């Protein structure tokens, strides 16, 4: 199974701009730029590769975790997963910090954390991010 995305970039690194399109159409002409990547902490000037990696990581982890919880006989009512991808200019992407708060009837905190760690390790995006530190904070809520 392949998934595709397309990036069009015009201009040089600092003044140039680009657009992103995805196979699903979720991103269509979505702007990205040097400013969006390195200067605008608000995230209002467009997306950037790190934000997209964070979205992929959070989504993949939540799906994998929901599977392990269901296999355990304790399906989640809700999982609120977040990934914060850290980019250090001049160094690169240094980490992805996952956090999850789950509403999971019938599970204790220890089993919840155990399955969350298993999901972190088993998530295909976590595996793809093997060159960086991936951390996890998992709580019932």
Domain boundaries, the chain: 3-37, 47-138
- pTM for the whole structure: 0.94
Please give the CATH topology (third level) of the domain spanning 47-138: GMP Synthetase; Chain A, domain 3 (3.30.300)
What order do you get walking across the sheet with 17-22 strand by strand? 5-10, 17-22, 30-33
Which tokens belong to 54?
């964070």
Average pLDDT over residues 20-24: 97
What is the spatial distance between Cα 96 and Cα 75, in angstroms, rounded to a whole number? 25
Condensed to tens digits (0 to 9), the pLDDT of residues 69-103 reads 999 999 999 999 999 999 998 999 999 999 999 99
**Interstrand relation of 5-10 and 17-22 (parallel, antiparallel or unpaired):** antiparallel
């Amino acid at each position: 199974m392949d998934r595709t995305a397309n990036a069009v970039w015009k201009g040089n690194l600092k003044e140039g701009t680009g657009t992103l399109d995805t196979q699903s159409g979720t991103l269509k002409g979505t702007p990205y730029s040097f400013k969006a990547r390195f200067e605008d902490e608000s995230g209002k000037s467009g997306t950037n590769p790190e934000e997209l990696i964070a979205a992929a990581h959070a989504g993949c982890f939540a799906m994998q975790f929901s599977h392990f919880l269901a296999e355990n006989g304790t399906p989640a009512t809700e999982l609120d997963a977040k990934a914060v991808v850290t980019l250090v200019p001049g160094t690169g992407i240094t980490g992805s910090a996952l956090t999850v708060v789950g509403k999971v009837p019938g599970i204790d905190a220890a089993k919840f954390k155990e399955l969350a760690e298993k999901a972190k390790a088993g998530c295909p995006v976590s595996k793809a991010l093997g060159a960086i530190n991936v951390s996890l904070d998992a709580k019932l809520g």
